[in-house]
Structure 1
Amino acid sequence: MKYQTYLIDLDGTMYRGKDKIPEAKVFIDNLQAKGIEYYFLTNNTTKTPQQVADNLTNNHQISAKADQIVTPSLATAAYVKDMFDDDVKNHSAYVIGEYGLKSAVFGTGIKLDETNPDVVIVGLDYDVTYHKFEVATLAIKRGAFFIGTNADTNLPNERGLVPGAGSVISLVETSTQQKAKYIGKPERDIMDFAAEAKNFDPQKAVMVGDNYNTDIKCGINANVDTLLVYTGVSTHEDIKKVDIKPTHEVESLDQWDV
């Protein structure tokens, strides 16, 4: 099947940390040459869309613009705006996360409140501290709605599999005995947000990624076809054990005919 829209993961699919995946650039070049629409659907909340696009372009020579980047930060901000019946500016939030998440959330106009926020949002934070966990836990215990950006327990980079946002969120889940409302992959929320924001037909799209538990499950949950590439997290042994297989599987992206 020829797809009209490609939704493409980053870590483990386009690159591994600072290390290039040469086949990824060829894959994107082929999409461009054929005029096929593509977006990068990442679980990275630490960077803004412009920073993500700059990294792809400058460090990996992969053509990308800010409006081609879809992050859980953007999807979370949209979710927060829709949470309330009145103006979001009348409400407050506490956020554990990097600039990419905070800029998107507070860009909605919602106010910062560390004591009695309406919502607590937790994502990957490279400088997370006990104090931040404490503030988030107490706020959720007081009744704040608990959002987790994405459930990634690990991220593949040039050093190996390092802790992801899910590892941070799970600590807050443990301390509050509450499950977060997740927005990013594998939840369909981020796919639904992408389809609405970018105006593409999910039935004519394919989700491309290296991680069955995030990328591929996101496609499955949203009834979008999937393409698993074995350059990152998931292995052949992993896929043998799952009931619902990816729609397509390739060893590397140069094996895929766009």
Structure 2
Amino acid sequence: MTDLVALKAANASRWPKAKLTRNFMPAAKRLAAPAAKSRYQAVSARTGVPWPFIAVAHEREASQNWNTQLGQGDPLNQVSTHVPRGRGPFKTWEDGAYDALVNCAPFAARNKDWSIGGTLAMLEQYNGLGYANKGRPSPYIWAGTNQYVSGKYVRDGVYDPATVDQQFGCAGLLMTMMQLDPTITFTGARIAPAPKPPPGAAPRPTIATPAKGSIGAFFVDLFKSVFGRK
């Protein structure tokens, strides 16, 4: 039986050491976009599961396809054939997501520990504990970071140590989403703020102070000359 306390501690200790090795930004922007965020928040309100957890699970299970079940990525309008089997069909993505989080193992809606270690451990349980039982970092969590090199279950019960998971891991997605959206926080998770411009760097152009040589600068100069403003 997997020691979940140890798994939480292991993932919490990997978090500050993790460095991204792939470009997570396009996927993170999709997940944190206002339209997507509002749908995740609607499910969060019904289940108590933080919306970023729902978002990254959606990405891993179905590449954010809204016509699939959150539980395993099977079509929304069919009875699922992958684990969890026998779920659905559902009228809406939100209904399928509710079912996956409330009625299916590992019952994320019952989780009370949403620290970064607890969050990552719950995500790992969502995918399966085969990697933890082997003492290996799960690609479901760590793919695309320096905490993962290779090894993947290529199908149920079949582990290939040489296969490299090409999907984005949940940890890297969360890290990048946290850079985009400062409202995303987890106890024990710190993200470095976006770098400040170097000393002496030109300020970012605005309507009032457009970039030199731009059409905006032309109209500002014209306005000043007509109205005698300096």
Radius of gyration: which is bigger?
2
TM class, shorter-length: under 0.3
Question: Greater helix percent: which structure?
Answer: 2
